[in-house]
Structure 1
Amino acid sequence: MKFLLSVIASVLLAGCSVFGQSNVETAPYTLLKTDAEKNIEVRNYDAMVLVSTSMAGEGRNSAFRKLFRYIGGENEGATEISMTAPVFMDNAKTTDNNKGTEIAMTAPVFMDNRAGEAMMSFVMPKDFTLQTTPKPTNPEVKVTELNNYKVAAIKFSGTLSKRNVAKHTKTLTDWINENDYTAISEPVEAGYNGPLTLPMLRRNEVLIEIK
């Protein structure tokens, strides 16, 4: 995945230590079922406001920068809200004098790799609604709302390499089939930690929507 998760690094979760600690808000969900042995959970995210952009064209790094500029102020708004974590990518912040709302970083960063519509999404803080989320000034960035998002999720450490993701996706897919759920989406990758976190202490996930 080249440099992408190093970027998720510095920003996603610049507040991380080498031991994986972070002050960044995480998207809340209701836990419906757990399989501790396989690190699998069934969750329901009641509502999430997502800010998304395509990973096509220039790829994941470019998508990440567009979304990070959005939460750094490249949006329509008047109130400045302090970021919840330090930022190491100063060159990713907008230099527009008419700066919009700064929005707190929330984990995880979602990466949906479906062919033809690969998207990267940031989850807005829980107090944001579709109506109150500032409108992006970049037309390539879109705001949407996701409701009653029921998923099976598998947690794993290490990196989000293709091999590691494929291994845990297979484990999750087999578990879904064995437990009489039906997968209704392609796998979505989620990253929580920055590059300073030791690989064995990182939190990564693959999520598959189910019914």
Structure 2
Amino acid sequence: MGWIGLFVLVVIVCMSMGISIRASEEKGYEMPLNCKKVECASYEVIDSQKEYEIREYKKAMWVSALPINSSSYEDGAYKGFNILFSYIQGNNEEAAQLNMTAPVVVDIIPSKDPLSNSTFVVNFLLPHNYQKNPPPSTLAHPVELPKQNYAAVRRFGGFISDNEIPLQVLALEKSLNGTKWESSIVKKSNGNAMTYTIAGYNSPFDKENRVNEIIFWFDK
């Protein structure tokens, strides 16, 4: 029997025993291509479904820009990223140049008033050789993240926009409804607005294979 015939036989046996084959679900999201080029934040997938996955992150040192108030994610993220990019290019007290890492993470605290600005905090993972000694700077400060070790994550592609974000937030909320994780999700709020995080794995100049994630953090 050839390997194709053997594979078909295994599938038939599994179906007859009520065993489903869910290789993609067990594997979780594919590692972003950019993580083959740069150091990426590490995590363990503890549950993987079609519309989301649940991860456990270990705490690490990141560098964080000062909070930026803006009416637009695109504006707030752009300003915060430029501050941190200047920092890793040597604009720090040691004139140290740090390697790029991924993802760039933006914590978003939406305003409870639609006419007021939201708050955006842009964070950058420090390379492993700077985990214990981040270069000081007046532009940015080191911070241990994540504050909560578990994350519900939804992945999406393309360029992140102000119009796209609410759709992704709603989709992740919907996919978690009725799951065992729903009651554990800590939805930090400012009035009626939920705090969440956007992670982007690509350079702004990448046109293809863009990987973005919407994240709800929680504790078990």
Q: Same fold (TM over 0.5)?
A: yes
How many positions carry a matched residue from both structures?
A: 165
CA RMSD of superposed structures (Å): 2.4
Superposed CA offset, 1:161-198 (max 9, x none) = 22322222112112333213232242211111234544
1:32 aligns with 2:34: no
Distance, in Å, in 1 between the alignment partners of 2:127 and 2:197 is 20
| 1:49 alignment counterpart | 61
| 1:17 alignment counterpart | none
Query: Which residues of structure 1 form unaligned runs of 5+?
Result: 1-19, 78-99
Work out which of the residue numbers 120, 123, 127 in structure 2 matches 1:121: 123
Letter matched to residue 100 of structure 2: M
Identity %, equivalent residues: 26
Work out which of the residue numbers 191, 206, 209 in structure 1 matches 2:214: 206
Superposed CA offset, 1:5-41 (max 9, x none) = xxxxxxxxxxxxxxx6561221111111111x22x21
More relative contact order, 1 or 2 (CA 8 Å, 6+ apart): 1
| 1:86 alignment counterpart | none
**Would the aligned equivalents of 2:152 and 2:217 in 1 still touch at CA under 8 Å?**
yes
Query: Which residues of structure 2 form unaligned runs of 5+?
Result: 1-32, 111-117, 189-194
Distance, in Å, in 2 between the alignment partners of 1:195 and 1:144 is 24
- Structure 1 residue runs of 4 or more that deviate by more than 4 Å after TM superposition: none
Distance 1:187 1:193, change over 3 A: same
**Structure (1/2) with the larger helix percentage:** 2
| 2:157 alignment counterpart | 157
**Would the aligned equivalents of 1:27 and 1:107 in 2 still touch at CA under 8 Å?**
yes
Structure exhibiting the larger radius of gyration computed from Cα positions: 2
Distance, in Å, in 2 between the alignment partners of 1:41 and 1:125 is 25
Distance, in Å, in 2 between the alignment partners of 1:128 and 1:175 is 37
1:133 aligns with 2:134: yes
Distance, in Å, in 2 between the alignment partners of 1:126 and 1:183 is 30
Distance 1:110 1:72, change over 3 A: same
**Would the aligned equivalents of 1:189 and 1:205 in 2 still touch at CA under 8 Å?**
yes
Q: Which TM-score applies when normalising by structure 2? A: 0.66
Distance, in Å, in 2 between the alignment partners of 1:109 and 1:73 is 18
Distance, in Å, in 2 between the alignment partners of 1:72 and 1:197 is 20
1:187 aligns with 2:196: yes
